[in-house]
Structure formats: C-alpha cells, structure tokens
Amino acid sequence: MSFVDPDLVGEIWPAAAPFDDSSKYGRIDFGPTGVFEARSLQTFKLVYTAGPYGIDDTGALRIVFRFSLDIGGLQTTDPAAKNYVSAKTGNGAKLTLTYNRSGHMRPRDRALTVFIADGFLSEGDTITVVFGDTSAGSPGMQLQTFCESAFEFKVLVDIYATGHFVPLPDTPTIRIIPGPPAHWRAILPTLRRTGEVFSLGLRADDDWGNPSCNETETLRIESNLPIENLPDQIIFPIGQRSLRIDNIVAQNEGIYRIRVYNDQNEHLVDANPIVVQNDSLNAYWGDLHGQTGETAAVDTAEEYFTFARDLAFLDVTSHQGNDFQIKNNFWAQLNQLTAEFDQKNRFVTFPGYEWSGNTCIGGDHNVFFRHEGRSIRRSSHALVEDQSDIDSDAPTLRELFTALADEDCVVYAHVGGRYANTAYAHDPRIETAMEIHSAWGTFEWLLTDGFSLGHRCGVVCNSDDHKCRPGASHPGAADFGTYGGLTCFLTSDLSRDSIFDCLRKRHHYGTTGNRLHLDTRVRFKTSANFYELDPNVYESSPKVVSEIMMGDIAQTNDGVVDLFVDAVAHTPIERVEVLNGKEVVETLRGYDSSELGNRFRIVWGGAKYRGRGRKVRWTGKMRLKNARIIRFERINAWNPEKLFEQRSDKEVVWDSITTGNFVGFDIWLDNVSNGQMVLETNYVGTTLSLDEIGLKDTIFEADGLERRLRVYRMPQINNVFEIRDTVPVVLKPKGDNPLWVRVTTDDGYNAWSSPIFVYKEK
C-alpha cells in the first residue's frame, strides 16, 4: 500500500495548544481494514476514545475526506437507506451529526461532524461512528468509484469547544481496488512513418473506468493490413492491469485497424486507427494536467506517472498541483520524479505546476518547464506553512509572465474551479495554448474569446485528473462532469525538445478523450508568407510557401484559401465543422439528406456561466405520439447511477449534468410519418413533427453559456469512419482568419484542431 508522505502534503493543520500533546486528545480504533472493491457497499466502525482532557460540552469529533471523494452521499436521517451513518456515546451524552460537502478546509472539505449537544466526555469515554450502519436495514455505505491505495478516514477533534479542530496522529486507511473487467481498451498511436516500430496497449476497465486485473483472458488479434510482429493470439495474465505489445511494424502506407476478440470469438474492442505514411511527422498523445494526494487529489505522484505510462499508454505527461499547496520539498520531489521517468522515445515528462491565482487577477494557468531545477513562482502561500520564500510569489498573472520571461517554459490557460482570465493578461511568447476541455467540462469560449483580442493560441485538452488516472480520467459520481481530454502532438520524435518545439508552434490538437487522426492544412491559390515566429511579437523573416499546417501563421494576398481536412476515427464520424473564428462556414458529413433513416438524436449541453457554479442539471422527458422506440442508446452518460433510461416504447427520461459538454441519446423508431416527439425539460419544452426533423439541427436555446437542446435526424447506420475533404474559405480582408475544425463522432466525442492563423492585412 502506498502512502503520501505527510511532509509533502500541502495542507495546514491547526496545531494543538503549545502546552498540549495531540496524542493526548484521544485515540482511534477502526475496522475492518484491508482491501475493498470500488463502489461496493461496506460497513466501517470508527471508535474514538477520549484522552485525558476529554471533550467539553458542545465540543465535537470530525472525520474529513478529500475534495475528489465520490462515496455515496452520507446521510443521518434514513436508517434503511444507503449511506446511513450513526453515532453514539458510551456515557449517554446526546450527539448530533451533520455531513457537509464544504465542512472543512481544502483539500479535505468533505466533513462528517459529531457534536456533543448535551453532556461531555471524560477520559476513556467513547464515541462510536458507524459508516453504512446496516442495523436498521441500510445496505451499507457506497465506496468511491475509483481506486486508491490508501483511502483515509482523517479524524480531528475539538476538545475545548472552541471550533479549533486538531488532527489525531494515527489515520485509519483502507485500500480500494477495481471491480471485474467490463470494457476492453486497445490503444495504438495514430500516426507513424513506414518501417517504424510502435506498440499496442491492452487493458480491461471496470464499470467506473478503473483498469481491472481480475481475470485471465486469451485474446485473438486481427489487423486489416499486415503488421509485423503482431501476434495472432496472446494471453492476458490474471493479476495484471495492462499488457503492452512492443516492436510491431507496418511496412506499407495505409490506415491500419485492429480488432480484438476473446477465445469464444466474441468481439471485445476495436483499437483506434493508425495512419501509416511517409511523412516527417509522428503523433504523440499526452495528458499534461493532473495532481495527486500531495496537493488536492489522491495517491502519490509516483503512482500518477506510472499510471500515465503503463495503464493509460500516454507518451507525454506532467504533474500540475495547485501552487498554493506545493511545499518546497514536494517541488523538489516532483523534479526528481520527472527526471527519473523521462525517457526519450518512450515516455516524456515535464516538471510543472498550476498557477492558481484568483480569476480577477488571471485565473488558473499551467506552467511547464523544459528542464528540472527551476523555481516555482506561486500565486500565494495559502496552504504552505513555510513562508521563507514568499517574496518569490507572483500574485498576479502579469507578475507571473514577467517572472517567466527568461525561462524555458510554456503556459496553458485553464478552466477549473477558477477560470483563466486571458483578457487580464496574455504573453504570446509564453502562453501558447488554451485548454478547452478537461474533466471540468468543455470551454471553446476560452479560445474564441482570444480571437477578438488578437491572441494566436493553439488547442489543448487535458484531464485535470484528481483520481490518479491521467490519460484515462473518468468523471465518477461527484463534481467532474465529463471524461478527461487528451492532446495529440504532431512532431518528429518523442523527446522533450521536439514536444516543446511542437508546443511553441501550436502543432497539436485536442480531443475529449478519444484518439483519432486529424490533419488540417491551408493551401493557397498563389502563395503566402509563412512566419516561423509570430510577427506580432518577434522580428521574423517570412518564407514563401504554398501550404501550411495547423497552428501556423501566414499572410497572403489570396481572397479565398482551401482548408484541407483529414479525419480518421475508430467510431463513425457524425460531422466535421469548419470554422473561421467563431463562425461555422461549412459542415462536412459523409452522408446527405437522402440517406437519413428513422434514427433521431436528442442532445443537450452548455453551462450556467463561466465560474465555479457552471454546472447545469438537466431533467427531462421525451414522449412519442404515433411512433414507437425499437432501439435506444445513451451518449456521454458517464454516471451509470444517474436516471437515464427508456421507460417504455414511447418514453425516455433523464437527469444529467453538463458543464459545457453535451449529453443525449439516439432513438430508432418504427414509424416517422404522422409521428410526433414531445420534449419536456426544466429549461425548454416543445412538440415536433418527426417528418419535419432533418439533417440540420433544430435548436432550442436555454440562456446561460451555450446552454441549448438540439434535435436532428441521422442515417440508420453511419458507416463514415473517414472524412477527407477540401473547403474553400473566403478570407476577411483585415485581421486574423483563425481557421480550425471541430469533429464530432457518433459516440459523442469531440476533437478540435489548433487554428491556422491566416491574414491579408494586419
């Protein structure tokens, strides 16, 4: 079992009085301990025995949990329901219990507090707290949805009834492990040159996205095109959470697709496609944003890097703890870990941190250094007790950019609890990208706001993972509303230098967690002046070119340019939208109105506003008249415990959360003519004739931030896995034309290319 070293943890505990010894504040007995399955129902008994000082009348015992917790909602009122918690004393004192999701200090803000309301405790008296008390019919307490090597029941006590809670020295822990395998994953790179070796990664996740290790499986592997050193059959050993097949080679150009079957010939999974071609670029996948138990999340930084490399099969990662929680010795340990894990042509890591200033003075930004040994410039020392280096803080984003001016680093803007305020400050030499998707939601506005400000930034997507699952970050059942994102870096080789060069050139694209191949290029009718460095910032001599790739900057005299798009996915592609700035200038589909069937898609999404309270709860019902459902499939329904089901052959009901992303469902109907669809939600309601719903979205706005419901019709079966097309785009005569694409796949994923910045006149 792995434990986070308390000396590394960025949190400030209230100390006992100078003349006191906290070990005399009492002791804890806890059971059972050991290993438990994620999301299983369990019962735990925690017995507090008072020390020599006892606990005074109106004093309290408090058990606190981390922010990322998603155990079942603890409750104290219904002893027959899930997650019932009881408490009693051995001396008859009256107790009251409260559970508050914001009942303590970050990062342990989830708090169960047991108040002594009538009476007091003397030395040797006890309080017994039972989590998941089954004595009156409760089935127990639901554990969290994700694995953790040392889940803590952290206990504090207020013995003097002053509101001053002091932690007890010994913390009970349990280990949470994955459930049985439910969903297989097969992961390939998406772009390689002919003759280059690459790997196939395999794992099986449980229902909550935890890589599982509970079964032995014989796997049969098929490829549509010949691949050298790819075995026809392989055994996935019991007790192993992943399997990596190395040194496989494709000698010929083409789109390679691999299917995996079990020994009963049942289809388990398709790998993402790999495009093999003679090109100067390869594609490398990264999730550069997440943190662990040394700051606001769980498990250790070492476990985090190991998961990224060996279970998520990432090529690139970084650790991004909130700066105001990073102690100096943890910063030193992070630098040591990134140096140890970094391995050219295998796994690239960058030292870094999340600058977490308040929104009004810049908001969240991620800092990545090319090399170890650099100074951390915090937004504050809010949870760092050692104030000896407080003069090195950069309290505002402007001060941060000034402090980083001579550093070999890049910065991303991020939307988390705080959102990045790029209008307050932006340094194009350092801030190269906008993170428009993470487990917090989808935030295209972070990129598009910058267009009117003249910002030339690329697109990245990451997870901001808090569950020690970088690169495979499922949202679970609490605050995170969607699956974490990934970024694809297009560069020559897998090394720090190449990835950093890629970042500075914006040669990358982001997805909401899937791995598809995406290429965008602008081709000029005559020619263009291509700038290696942004001419708004640097003195840069242009090079005359006829074509540029995503992220590039060029000036042209052409009135119209051709935007080439190449998208290849392992699930069907619903649409590719071509944008000039905020405007969709063309929508590409692999089908037209003549191919539509009796399949209808209903999706809803958006956010309330940009800040912490952006979450939107959508409740609704869809009813049919003169039609019947013959098939129903959910889209982006990440929490299987949320209400989202087909109630009958005429009705679907749901209760879901969006935070800028979208959720929805497809229905296949037995009849369209004369049928009607009645939609009733907490934001919009309407009745639609089925035969009037077509290829284009019927949109119902619901105020908020891109909060809307959409309905449209699709082919019965979509077999479009590749879209390759060229779209002519008319350029605005002055200012930037940010040309980029948004890809949507049938199964609800998005991908976004970094914009190509083309202008005629400044």
Question: What tens digit of pLDDT does each residue of 681-698 get?
Answer: 999 999 999 999 999 999
End-to-end alpha-carbon separation of the chain, Å? Answer: 59
User: For 408-425, what is each residue's pLDDT tens digit?
Assistant: 999 999 999 899 999 999
- Helix axis angle for 301-310 and 328-341, nearest 10°, is 20
- Nearest alpha-carbon partner for 635 in 664, 656, 660, 661: 664
User: For 78-95, what is each residue's pLDDT tens digit?
Assistant: 999 999 999 999 999 999
User: For 29-61, what is each residue's pLDDT tens digit?
Assistant: 999 999 999 999 999 999 999 999 999 999 999
Distance from C-alpha of 174 to C-alpha of 449, rounded to nearest angstrom: 46
283-515, what's its fold? TIM Barrel (3.20.20)
Alpha-carbon Rg of the chain, whole angstroms?
Answer: 27
Report the chain (762 residues): mean pLDDT per 10 consecutive residues: 83 78 90 98 98 96 93 96 97 95 91 96 97 98 97 97 94 96 97 97 96 88 98 93 97 98 96 95 97 96 98 98 97 98 98 98 98 98 96 98 98 95 97 97 97 97 97 89 96 98 98 98 97 92 97 98 98 98 98 97 97 94 97 96 96 96 97 94 97 97 96 97 98 97 98 98 86
Sorted by where each begins, the domain ranges of the chain are 6-177, 183-279, 283-515, 593-714
- Nearest alpha-carbon partner for 486 in 504, 508, 506, 455: 508
Domains 6-177 and 283-515 share a fold: no
Beta strands (DSSP E) in 397-472 are 409-413, 431-438, 441-442, 458-461
Q: DSSP 3-state assignment of 426? A: coil
C-alpha 161 chain-centroid distance: 41
SS3 of the chain: helix, strand, coil, percent, to 5: 10, 45, 45
Q: DSSP 3-state assignment of 414? A: coil
- Nearest alpha-carbon partner for 537 in 645, 605, 457: 457
pLDDT reported for residue 1: 60
> Rounded to two decimals, what is the model's pTM?
0.97
CA of 317: how far to CAs of 75, 148, 286, 308, 629, in Å?
Answer: 39, 20, 6, 7, 44
* DSSP tag of 399: H
Q: Give backbone dihedrals phi and psi of 253, rounded to 5 degrees, phi first.
A: -70, 150
C-alpha 379 chain-centroid distance: 23
Distance from C-alpha of 698 to C-alpha of 712, rounded to nearest angstrom: 6
Distance from C-alpha of 125 to C-alpha of 51, rounded to nearest angstrom: 8
- Beta-bridged to residue 249, according to DSSP, are 197, 228
CATH class of 183-279: mainly beta
Distance from C-alpha of 355 to C-alpha of 321, rounded to nearest angstrom: 9
Distance from C-alpha of 112 to C-alpha of 134, rounded to nearest angstrom: 18
Residues contacting residue 613 through CB under 8 Å, at least 6 positions apart:
none
Distance from C-alpha of 744 to C-alpha of 731, rounded to nearest angstrom: 25
Query: What six digits make up the tokens of 291?
Result: 């943190």
Parallel, antiparallel or unpaired: strands 364-369 and 409-413: antiparallel
Q: Which helix or strand (DSSP H or E) is residue 179 part of?
A: none
What's the maximum distance between 2 C-alpha atoms anywhere in the chain?
A: 90
Single-letter amino acid code for the residue at 19: F
* CATH for the 593-714 domain, from 3.30.70, 3.40.50, 2.60.40, 1.10.3470: 2.60.40
Q: Percentage of the chain with pLDDT > 90?
A: 93
Query: What six digits make up the tokens of 731?
Result: 């350029």
Distance from C-alpha of 665 to C-alpha of 604, rounded to nearest angstrom: 9
pLDDT reported for residue 435: 98
- Beta-bridged to residue 688, according to DSSP, are 677
Strand ranges across the sheet with 183-187 = 183-187, 197-205, 243-249
- Beta-bridged to residue 729, according to DSSP, are 561
- Nearest alpha-carbon partner for 269 in 186, 181, 208, 182: 186
Specify the CATH superfamily of domain 6-177.
ntegrin, alpha v. Chain A, domain 3 (2.60.40.1510)
Cβ atoms of residues 220 and 162 within 8 Å:
no
